[in-house]
Structure 1
Amino acid sequence: MDEMVVLLIPLLGTTLGAAMVFFMKDNINAKIEKTLLGFAAGVMIAASVWSLLIPAIDMSKEQGRIAWLPAAVGFMLGILFLLFIDSIVPHLHLDSDKPEGVKSKFSKTTMMMFAVTIHNIPEGMAVGITYAGAIMGHSKLSFTAAVALSIGIAIQNFPEGAIISMPLKGQGMSKMRAFKCGFLSGVVEPIGAFITILLTSKIIVILPYLLAFAAGAMIYVVMEELIPESQSGEHTNIGTIGAAIGFVLMMVLDVALG
Structure 2
Amino acid sequence: MNYNVMSGIIIPFIGTSAGTACVFLMRNELRDHVQRGLTGFAAGVMVAASIWSLLIPAMEQTDTMGALSFVPAVAGFWIGILLLLFLDHMIPHLHMHAEKAEGPASNLTRTTMMVLAVTLHNIPEGMAVGVVYAGLLTGTKDISLGGAMALSIGIAIQNFPEGAIISMPIHAEGKSRGKAFLSGIMSGAVEPAAALLMILAAEALLPLMPYMLSAAAGAMLYVVVEELIPEMSEGEHSNIGVLMFAVGFTLMMALDVALG
Normalising by the smaller structure, the TM-score range is: over 0.9
Q: Name which of 168, 171, 182 aligns with 2:170.
A: 168
How far, CA to CA, are the matches of 2:205 and 2:155 in structure 1? 25
Please tell me whether the aligned partners of residues 135 and 143 of structure 1 are also in contact (alpha carbons under 8 angstroms): no
Residue deviations 1:92-118, cap 9 Å, x none?
A: 112112111011111111111111111
2:78 corresponds to which letter in structure 1?
A: M
Q: Name which of 67, 70, 76 aligns with 1:68.
A: 70
2:98 corresponds to which letter in structure 1?
A: S
Please tell me whether the aligned partners of residues 126 and 194 of structure 2 are also in contact (alpha carbons under 8 angstroms): yes
Q: Name which of 130, 133, 137 aligns with 1:131.
A: 133
Match of 1:236 in 2: 238
**1:86: Cα distance to partner?**
0.1
**1:64: Cα distance to partner?**
6.5
**1:63: Cα distance to partner?**
6.5
- 1:102-181 map, 5 Å: 102-181=104-183
Match of 2:7 in 1: 5
Q: Are 2:213 and 1:207 equivalent residues in the alignment?
A: no
Q: TM-score, normalised by structure 2?
A: 0.97
In structure 1, the gaps of 5 or more residues are: none
**1:139: Cα distance to partner?**
2.2
Match of 2:81 in 1: 79
Q: Are 2:61 and 1:59 equivalent residues in the alignment?
A: yes
How far, CA to CA, are the matches of 2:65 and 2:213 in structure 1? 15
1:22 corresponds to which letter in structure 2?
A: F
Q: Are 2:250 and 1:248 equivalent residues in the alignment?
A: yes
Residue deviations 1:96-147, cap 9 Å, x none?
A: 1211101111111111111111100000000000011111112200112111
Runs of 4+ that moved beyond 2 A: 62-66
Q: Name which of 193, 196, 199 aligns with 2:198.
A: 196
Q: What SS does the aligned partner of 2:141 have?
A: coil
Q: TM-score, normalised by structure 1?
A: 0.97
Identical aligned residues as a percent: 54
Please tell me whether the aligned partners of residues 111 and 173 of structure 2 are also in contact (alpha carbons under 8 angstroms): no
How far, CA to CA, are the matches of 1:201 and 1:176 in structure 2? 40
Q: What SS does the aligned partner of 2:68 have?
A: coil
How far, CA to CA, are the matches of 1:59 and 1:103 in structure 2? 43
Please tell me whether the aligned partners of residues 71 and 208 of structure 1 are also in contact (alpha carbons under 8 angstroms): yes
More displaced 10-residue stretch of structure 1: 206-215 or 104-113: 104-113
**1:65: Cα distance to partner?**
8.3
Q: Count residues in correspondence.
A: 258
Q: What SS does the aligned partner of 1:140 have?
A: coil
**1:31: Cα distance to partner?**
1.0
In structure 2, the gaps of 5 or more residues are: none
Residue deviations 1:55-101, cap 9 Å, x none?
A: 00000114678210001010011111100100111111121121110
